Homo-oligomer: A and B are copies of this chain.
């Protein structure tokens, strides 16, 4: 009873890998956006009571993780594995948030694709018999990301129209063998795709080709058309990156139509909230998945969802050195009915 390889780096789970619990926690701005009702916790204080933005991000992730554990009725030590990572240098947000958990810890780096990478690996671990309860979580914070990737907030730097706003948010799912639906039924692992985009203020363009690659491989390997899913949800391509993805898929004759939505385009009212091309950051797709997407599945609005989180694998140093931006996209299928 192990994963069945379908080709195209796509696996079919053979066990029932359910979602025991999910939780999301976000900052004030996200809590004023269109998805405000879907988040478990909205914190008006961007510092989360801490003395630095980095500590604030860890506090946010820790809060989100505690909420998920509470909902699952588990102590952190009851988890077989925790899979986490974030955008901070050396993934410090996750390490400090989880250092007291006492659970086996596997650190990941998938940039903004981390939630899908963690979920895919968590499902594979459970399906392969390595564990029965595995947490997948990640976070990002506007203020820690701005000063690390762009400019100190105090500079008041202007943002280009293609830029995305890093979401202050965290999402956590606890997957469990024979847990309640939705079930994680398919996992497609991403490949690095770099078509030469060098503008670090246009991440959507850098990541769209990777999303296209992963979605196409997923559809081909599973034999499922896009219309198999009620929703195909990309990570954080934002408004511009989403348009590019649809264009790229269209060149290959694939139309997602109205079933495509993007976490980065959903989380803010971009015009009213000044978010330019939308949201980004590990916490963007993680908090939207843990909140809005799972709400829609549990309510019956969606029965089959393909969640494809995207990441840009550059660093400020590589950008300063003139490198282009490699993108990646990992995808997992969530379904209310197991096969």
- In the complex, are the beta carbons of A95 and B130 less than 8 A apart? no
- 9 closest A-B pairs (Cβ-Cβ)? A128-B128, A2-B129, A95-B313, A90-B315, A9-B104, A104-B189, A107-B109, A92-B315, A99-B192
Cβ-closest chain B residue relative to A95? B313
Q: Which residues of B contact A107 (CB under 8 A)?
A: 85, 108-111, 117, 313, 328
Is A231 part of the binding interface, using a Cβ–Cβ cutoff of 8 Å? no
Is A259 part of the binding interface, using a Cβ–Cβ cutoff of 8 Å? no
Smallest Cβ distance from A91 to chain B, in angstroms?
4
A117 to B121, CA, bound (A): 13
**Known contacts being A92-B318, A124-B125, is A104 close to B190, with CB within 8 Å?**
yes
Smallest Cβ distance from A16 to chain B, in angstroms?
15
Interface string of A6-18 (1 = CB under 8 A from B): 0001010000000
- In the complex, are the beta carbons of B90 and A3 less than 8 A apart? no
Chain A interface bracket (under 10, 10 to 19, 20 to 34, 35 or more): 35 or more
Q: Which residues of B contact A1 (CB under 8 A)?
A: 2
Is A269 part of the binding interface, using a Cβ–Cβ cutoff of 8 Å? no
Is A160 part of the binding interface, using a Cβ–Cβ cutoff of 8 Å? no
What would 21 A/B residue contacts be, using CB atoms closer than 8 Å?
A: A2-B128, A3-B128, A5-B80, A5-B130, A9-B81, A81-B189, A87-B90, A89-B315, A89-B316, A90-B111, A92-B318, A101-B192, A103-B191, A105-B189, A105-B192, A105-B328, A106-B117, A106-B121, A107-B313, A108-B108, A124-B125
A188 to B88, CA, bound (A): 26
Smallest Cβ distance from A63 to chain B, in angstroms?
18
Q: Which residues of B contact A9 (CB under 8 A)?
A: 80-81, 104
Is A323 part of the binding interface, using a Cβ–Cβ cutoff of 8 Å? yes
- For A106, give its contact among B87, B130, B189 (CB under 8 Å): B189
A313 to B2, CA, bound (A): 32
Is A299 part of the binding interface, using a Cβ–Cβ cutoff of 8 Å? no
Is A33 part of the binding interface, using a Cβ–Cβ cutoff of 8 Å? no
Cβ-closest chain B residue relative to A147? B317
Is A273 part of the binding interface, using a Cβ–Cβ cutoff of 8 Å? no
Is A219 part of the binding interface, using a Cβ–Cβ cutoff of 8 Å? no
- In the complex, are the beta carbons of B2 and A90 less than 8 A apart? no
Is A169 part of the binding interface, using a Cβ–Cβ cutoff of 8 Å? no
Smallest Cβ distance from A6 to chain B, in angstroms?
11
A108 to B111, CA, bound (A): 11
- For A109, give its contact among B11, B85, B189 (CB under 8 Å): B85
Residue among A96, A108, A148, A192 with the most chain B CB within 10 A?
Answer: A192
